[in-house]
Structure 1
Amino acid sequence: MMACAALAACASAGPAGNPVERKLTWFSYLNGDDLRVACAQDGPDRFRMVFNADYNEHVRTYDVTGDPDGGASVAARVIKAPDLARVDLADPVGAWKGDEAQTRLSPTQYAMLVIRLYESGAFQMLPERLRLPSNSFYWLVSGCRDGQWFFTAYPYPSDRFADIRFAEPLGAMDPTGVAPPRLPSPADAPRSLPPGSRQQDGGVFFEIEVSGKGLVGPHLTLGPWPFAGWFTPRNP
């Protein structure tokens, strides 16, 4: 916990490819701190969509920035559990970097994405606080639209998740070529941290609490968040 406090100044400046930097700034990234600071009436619209499908197994991120011509650029990253049998000694952290790619959206494609976000309630205030364990499945969506900051969440399973309209067009324009994971059945979907996760070996376990304003609690590190979990390193 002292180490976590010492890292509390680590703010995200966007999606990090370096896995060490990503862990130190992950909660700040989820909270959209960099987007929030830059949000202004005369600035471009910027959206961030993060799909957590068990943090230790599969995470997808999309950073969308509107262009003056009406289109947008998309930076996408997929972070999966690394295959340690394929670690390259010339790039020892490469297995943890994830797959990343960029693409551009035409004005029509971008307008459709914004419509789907609107239909999904992304620009409305989150109706309640939510606690989201790292081993669960959820979308976090945040950004700046017309100079106004927004933040929302879609836990699985829930009516909010079932009403998502942006996932399909986002998947159709995904430049990474990495297939999304299959959702577990609602009955099998994790809703809390695994029992005994403090002692478990095999990854990172934490829980975040979110409201319509973002992550709840003191932050900037590992982000505005009440650190309700712990880090357990993987064995090589």
Structure 2
Amino acid sequence: MGQGDAMTLTAAKGLGWTLAGALLAAGCASSGPTDNPAARRMSWISYVSGDDLRSACRSDGPERYRLVFNADYNQHVRTYDLTADPADGGAVLEARVIQATDLARMDASDPLANLRGVTAQTKLTAPQFLAFIASLTESGAFDGVPDRLRLRSNGIYWLVNGCHGGRWFFSAYPYPDHRFVDVRFAEPLAALDGTGVPFPTLPAPGTQSDPPRDDPGATFQLDVDANGVIGPTHLFGPWTLAGR
């Protein structure tokens, strides 16, 4: 579902953005986190935009939250999907880390293992869940994005969205902006992560470079504001091939 009249995942001359990569990332509608590498890439923009959470958000439904940490889309991405459990007041956290494929560690019996990423599920108690929601509140997650932002795929940022109190919300935290530095949810999220994969070391502010023109990975940019990703987030319906 588009949220504007112009697609913002466009090629940027001199910056190395590839239109093919943008179209690929915005191909299909997301139905949630997936272990299928092809489905993940084809529905990535829809996933980070929270299309599925937004369409299902209602006051009588469970609260759901999605946090995405991007440290260059082709190098290191972490996703967190948190779903409330009304039965006990807690929640279930599904964490996933996707890193650049390391051929030296590739398992011949499962060559797509690295592309699927490392996953872990963690059960949060009611107090843990309430504390985490408080960290989102303290980080201004429910206040939206103060200004329109342009986020490059090789950049570093958090994207946070979900269904809170029956209302959908969206927020973004680009590095090294003060919003990124001041987030309160990163530390407790790392403690609950469960994947065993450490966060990458961040470059010094101002030292990030544009991807090379011959970068084989998908490169794109996202324009976002308080209403989410600006422009169409997918061109087709949900991914329909077998495999979650």
CA distance in 2, matches of 1:128, 1:8: 23
Q: Compared with structure 1, are the counterparts of its residues 88 and 6 closer, same or farther at alpha carbon in structure 2 (3 Å cutoff)?
A: closer
Does residue 1:10 correspond to 2:28, yes or no? yes
Cα distance, 1:100 vs. partner?
0.4
The structure showing larger relative contact order (alpha-carbon pairs under 8 Å, at least 6 residues apart) is 2
In structure 2, the partner of 1:182 is 201
Deviation sequence 1:145-168 (CA, Å, 0-9, x none): 010000000000101111100001
In structure 2, the partner of 1:23 is 41
In structure 2, the partner of 1:87 is 106
Give every structure 1 segment of 4 or more consecutive aligned residues whose post-TM-superposition deviation is greater than 3 Å.
1-9
In structure 2, the partner of 1:65 is 83
CA distance in 2, matches of 1:101, 1:211: 30
Deviation sequence 1:141-191 (CA, Å, 0-9, x none): 00000100000000001011111000011111111111111111113245x
CA distance in 1, matches of 2:235, 2:67: 19
Does residue 1:161 correspond to 2:161, yes or no? no
Q: Compared with structure 1, are the counterparts of its residues 7 and 106 closer, same or farther at alpha carbon in structure 2 (3 Å cutoff)?
A: closer
Q: Compared with structure 1, are the counterparts of its residues 50 and 6 closer, same or farther at alpha carbon in structure 2 (3 Å cutoff)?
A: closer
TM-score, L = length of structure 1: 0.86
Amino acid at match of 1:206: F
Percent of matched pairs sharing the same residue: 54
User: Does structure 1 retain, via aligned residues, the 8 Å contact 2:84–2:92?
Assistant: yes
* Secondary structure, counterpart of 2:206 in structure 1: helix
User: Does structure 2 retain, via aligned residues, the 8 Å contact 1:7–1:222?
Assistant: no
Cα distance, 1:7 vs. partner?
8.7
Cα distance, 1:202 vs. partner?
3.8
Structure 2 gap segments, 5+ residues each:
1-18, 238-244
For this pair of structures, how many residues does the alignment match?
A: 218
* Secondary structure, counterpart of 2:143 in structure 1: coil
CA distance in 1, matches of 2:218, 2:23: 17
CA distance in 1, matches of 2:236, 2:223: 13
In structure 2, the partner of 1:226 is none
User: Does structure 1 retain, via aligned residues, the 8 Å contact 2:81–2:93?
Assistant: yes
| Alignment RMSD | 2.1
Q: Compared with structure 1, are the counterparts of its residues 126 and 4 closer, same or farther at alpha carbon in structure 2 (3 Å cutoff)?
A: closer
In structure 2, the partner of 1:112 is 131
In structure 2, the partner of 1:78 is 97
User: Does structure 2 retain, via aligned residues, the 8 Å contact 1:137–1:189?
Assistant: no
Amino acid at match of 1:113: F
Q: Compared with structure 1, are the counterparts of its residues 221 and 102 closer, same or farther at alpha carbon in structure 2 (3 Å cutoff)?
A: farther
Alignment partner of 2:54 out of 26, 32, 36: 36
Deviation sequence 1:76-109 (CA, Å, 0-9, x none): 0000011113333432322211000101001111
In structure 1, the partner of 2:15 is none
Deviation sequence 1:107-137 (CA, Å, 0-9, x none): 1111110000000000002111100001110
TM-score, L = length of structure 2: 0.83
Q: Compared with structure 1, are the counterparts of its residues 179 and 202 closer, same or farther at alpha carbon in structure 2 (3 Å cutoff)?
A: same
In structure 2, the partner of 1:232 is none
CA distance in 2, matches of 1:54, 1:40: 33
* Secondary structure, counterpart of 2:218 in structure 1: strand
User: Does structure 2 retain, via aligned residues, the 8 Å contact 1:127–1:212?
Assistant: yes
CA distance in 1, matches of 2:130, 2:119: 23
Alignment partner of 1:122 out of 133, 136, 141: 141
Q: Which moved more, 1:124-133 or 1:2-11?
A: 2-11
Q: Compared with structure 1, are the counterparts of its residues 222 and 139 closer, same or farther at alpha carbon in structure 2 (3 Å cutoff)?
A: farther
Structure 1 gap segments, 5+ residues each:
224-236
